[in-house]
A and B are shown apart, each in its own frame.
Chain A
C-alpha cells in the first residue's frame, strides 16, 4: 500500500488531523495499534474544553487552546457530537489562593481568553449551589465547556473514512525505513509505504520519533485516576470546578459530563510504564478526599466505575508540533497533554498548514464536512420512536436497560465507517453497558450481536481487542 500521508495514532489528535486531511485530494492512512480509535489518553481524561488561561502566554499550549476552544462548538455540531458550554471555575479557599486566581485572570487576559471574571463568595454560591462553604471566591471562565473525547474521535474518524481516509487497526509501527524518498513502515499489519508520516502516537510518540533517529524530546508518562459517578448525582456540579493548579497540573476537578454523570479526578503521578492504566487504592482515596474539599456532597456510594489514563507530558514542557529535526518528511505532533483535547481542532488545522509547505494539497470538491447523526433512541419522542421502529424493527428491541439502547443502535455502531469491533467499542459508541449495571445484563447480548455482525464465533469477541477474551471454549 502506498499513501501520501500516514497518520500514526488514532487518538483525538490523529483522528482530527485525519479528518482535516480528508478535505484534500491526497491519499491518507490512519494507523492504530489497538483494535479501535481513542484507546489511549483520549478515552481517559477530564473531557474538558478549557478556557485557556492556564498556559503561559506565547506558548503553543496557550495559542492552540484559545483557538481550539473557539473552534470546538462548531466542529462538534458538524460531527454531531454533544458539546456543552457549562463554564469553569477555579475555586480559591484562602486569600493566598485568591491571589493565585487573580494571576490566572491576568494570564488569561494576556492569552486573549474571552468571558473571564473574578467572582466573590456570594456570586460563587449562587451559580454553584453545592460548592463548599469554605470557598472564598473563584475565577469564572464562561467560554469553557465539556465534550466527550472518545465520541469526538469516533465521529472525526467516521467522517474521515467517509471522505476517503483508510483506517487500519491493529497496526503497530515497529520500524520506519527511508527508501528512495519514501518511508516504508514495518507494522503488525504488514508494510506500508508513505511519503509523509505524522507522528500522533501519544505516549509512544518519542518511541516513534526514535525510529527515524529523532531523540529531541522524551515523553514522561503521567497517570491520572478518576471516579465516574451515577447520573443521579450528575447535577452536584454545574460548572467544571477546579482547585488552584500546581506544578503537576490543574489538580482535582469535579465536573458534570455531557452524558449527565459526575466525573471527579484526576491524580497526577509520573510513572515508568506508559501503558499502566491501573487504578490504585491511594489514588482513589486522594481523588475523593480532594473532591470533597470542593463539593462536600460528593460520595463514592454513587460511583459506577473508576479508571485511569496516562498523560503525555513532554520534557520540553510545551506541545511539539512541527517537522522532525532528524527526518524531513516526518512531522511530530507530540507531548499533547492538557489542554490537548481543547487544542485538538486548532492543532489539526496547524498540522495541515505545516504539511502544505511540502505537499501539494488541492481541495476535494466533494468533501462532506458533516457526519450523519447517529440514532439515539433515548433522546427521541414517542412519534419519532414509532417512525424509527416502522423503518427498522431492530430499534424496537432494548438491549441495554440502564441507558435504553436498542439493538438497532448497536448494529449501526458495528456497521459504521471505522465501526466497533469489540464490546468496549460498542459501549463507547452507544453507551450500552455504561450505566448502573455496567453491562451485567447486556454484555452477553452485545457479544452475541458482535458475533453475528462480524461473522465470528461468540468466544472470539473481545472486550477491547488483543487478548481481552470474554469467554472461552464450549462447556462440557
Chain B
C-alpha cells in the first residue's frame, strides 16, 4: 500500500492544474495517474492554435499549452505515473490502479481529484440507419490518426455535427488534401465556437448545413456515401428532402460525454444535464475528499476555463487535506428559462471566497439579460449581446452576497430575452 495526500486521476490540463495548485497550497505528497503514455490529455492531438488566449494572454497550440504545465510539474516533486489506469476508488477513497511496470497499485490517500476528461458520443447513440462498413468514426479518432499516427482516415469527407472538434477536423482534413463536402448540423445553430465556424469552414468554403442530418450510411466494406435530409422543428427528418452524397468517410462530432465510469462505480450520483458529479464551490463532490474538475465535471468550451476550474478544485483539495475546508449549510443553484445547468450545484454559504457560476444556454439569445435571483430577490443581472449553446457563460457571486443567503435557499439563473 502506497501513501499519498492527494491522488489526481488524469494528467490532462485539468489534472495537471489541480495538482499544481494543490502543491502551491501546501500539499506534500501528490501523485498524478494518467492512462495515456504521456501527460497532456486530448491537447496532445490538438495541434491547431487557439488555446491560452484567456489564461496566458497568447495563442498557443494544444501541445504548447499542455507543455507549459508539464514544465511546471517537472519543477515540483509531484509524482506522475503514465500508462496507468485507475480501476477503482473504494469507499474510504483508497485508489486501485494498474500498469505494466508496477502491476496493481493500491494507494491510500486523504483526497482524490477526478480529472478523467470526456469522450465523444459514438454513432450507436445516434441510431443512424445503414451499414456497419468502415470509414465512420468520431472526429477525435480521425484527429488522432492524422495528427499523432500520421495517416489519412479518408479522402472525401462528410462531417455530422458542428461541435468544435468537427469544425477543426474539417479544416485539418482540407489542409491534408481531403475534400470536405459539408458539415451537417441537426440543430438550427452550431454547437461550436463562432471563431471556429469562421476560421475552419467559411475560410475554406465548406458549407455548414443547419437543420440537416445523416439518415443513412451506404457501403459494403468501406463507406461509399451517405444520405442526408433536412429536419423539421421536431428534429425529425422531413420525407422528400433526402439527398445522396458520395463520400468515403463520415466523421461524427455530435457531442461529448464526461467520462464518469469511475465516478459512478464509486457511488457518485451524476447530474442529469452535465453527466458529471454534483459539486460545491470548491468542486468537492458528495463524497468528502473527492473533488472533480475539467471535462469530467462539465464539458468546457475552452481549456482556459478548465485550468481555472481545476485550480479551484486543487485549492479545495488542499484545504480539505489541511482540515481548513469549510463545510457549512449550502444554497443550491438552479438554471431556468434557457439556462441548462449550473456548476457548482451548491455553495457553502459560509464560503471564504467569491464564486463563479458557470452555465450554458439551450438556444441562441441576442441582447439578453442574465438574471440571478434567490427566493424572488434579484442578486445581480448582466447584459449580454449574444449567448450561444456552444459557449460557456458565467456570473460571479460575491462572498458578501452568499453569506447573506439563508441555508437551503435556491439560487436561480435565467435568461431574459
Decide if A and B are genuine partners. yes
- Looking at the complex, which one of B35, B131, B140, B221 makes contact with A466 (CB distance below 8 Å)? B221
- Looking at the complex, which one of B103, B122, B133 makes contact with A437 (CB distance below 8 Å)? B122
Chain A residues within an 8 Å CB radius of B217 = 278
Tell me whether A402 is interfacial, beta carbon within 8 Å.
Answer: yes
Tell me whether A371 is interfacial, beta carbon within 8 Å.
Answer: no
- Looking at the complex, which one of B35, B102, B104, B120 makes contact with A385 (CB distance below 8 Å)? B104
Tell me whether A468 is interfacial, beta carbon within 8 Å.
Answer: yes
Tell me whether B132 is interfacial, beta carbon within 8 Å.
Answer: yes
- Looking at the complex, which one of B96, B120, B130, B131 makes contact with A440 (CB distance below 8 Å)? B120
Chain A residues within an 8 Å CB radius of B102 = 396
Q: List A residues 277-332 near B (Cβ within 8 Å).
A: 277-281, 283-284, 300, 303-307
Tell me whether A357 is interfacial, beta carbon within 8 Å.
Answer: no
- Looking at the complex, which one of B85, B141, B153 makes contact with A472 (CB distance below 8 Å)? B153
Question: Are B131 and A397 neighbours in the complex by a CB distance under 8 Å?
Answer: no
Tell me whether B129 is interfacial, beta carbon within 8 Å.
Answer: yes
Tell me whether B127 is interfacial, beta carbon within 8 Å.
Answer: yes
Chain B facing A: main interface SS: mixed
What is the count of residue pairs linking A and B with beta-carbon distances less than 8 angstroms? 148
Q: List B residues 88-142 near A (Cβ within 8 Å).
A: 96, 98-104, 119-120, 122-125, 127, 129-135, 137-138, 140-141
Q: List A residues 428-459 near B (Cβ within 8 Å).
A: 436-441, 443-444, 448, 458-459
Chain A residues within an 8 Å CB radius of B222 = 467-469
Shortest B40–chain A CB gap in Å is: 15
| B137-152 interface code vs A (CB 8 A; 1 in, 0 out) | 1101100111011111
Given A440-B119, A468-B134, A469-B222: A398 and B176 interface contact (C-beta under 8 Å): no
Question: Are B261 and A402 neighbours in the complex by a CB distance under 8 Å?
Answer: yes
Question: Are B100 and A389 neighbours in the complex by a CB distance under 8 Å?
Answer: yes
- Looking at the complex, which one of A393, A441, A475 makes contact with B146 (CB distance below 8 Å)? A475
Question: Are A475 and B151 neighbours in the complex by a CB distance under 8 Å?
Answer: yes
Question: Are B124 and A305 neighbours in the complex by a CB distance under 8 Å?
Answer: yes
Given A278-B131, A396-B101, A462-B134: A472 and B155 interface contact (C-beta under 8 Å): yes
| A201-215 interface code vs B (CB 8 A; 1 in, 0 out) | 000000000000000
Q: List B residues 149-164 near A (Cβ within 8 Å).
A: 149-155
Question: Are A472 and B124 neighbours in the complex by a CB distance under 8 Å?
Answer: no
Chain A residues within an 8 Å CB radius of B329 = none
Chain B residues within an 8 Å CB radius of A448 = 149
Tell me whether A379 is interfacial, beta carbon within 8 Å.
Answer: no
Tell me whether B368 is interfacial, beta carbon within 8 Å.
Answer: no
Tell me whether B392 is interfacial, beta carbon within 8 Å.
Answer: no
Question: Are B124 and A385 neighbours in the complex by a CB distance under 8 Å?
Answer: no
Chain A residues within an 8 Å CB radius of B132 = 277, 307
Q: Which residues of A contact B (CB under 8 A)?
A: 227-228, 275, 277-281, 283-284, 300, 303-307, 382, 385-386, 389-390, 393-398, 401-402, 404, 407, 436-441, 443-444, 448, 458-459, 462-464, 466-476
Q: Please name 26 pairs of A and B residues whose Cβ atoms are closer than 8 Å in the assembled complex, sorted by A.
A: A227-B127, A278-B131, A280-B216, A284-B129, A300-B127, A303-B124, A305-B122, A385-B103, A395-B100, A396-B101, A401-B261, A402-B261, A404-B85, A436-B119, A437-B119, A437-B120, A439-B141, A440-B119, A441-B119, A443-B141, A444-B148, A444-B149, A470-B134, A471-B152, A471-B153, A474-B150
Q: Which residues of B contact A (CB under 8 A)?
A: 35, 83, 85, 87, 96, 98-104, 119-120, 122-125, 127, 129-135, 137-138, 140-141, 144-146, 148-155, 176-177, 215-218, 220-222, 237, 257, 259, 261
Known contacts A305-B122, A386-B104; 12 further A-B pairs (Cβ under 8 A): A281-B215, A304-B125, A385-B98, A393-B101, A398-B35, A398-B85, A440-B122, A440-B137, A464-B221, A471-B152, A474-B151, A475-B150
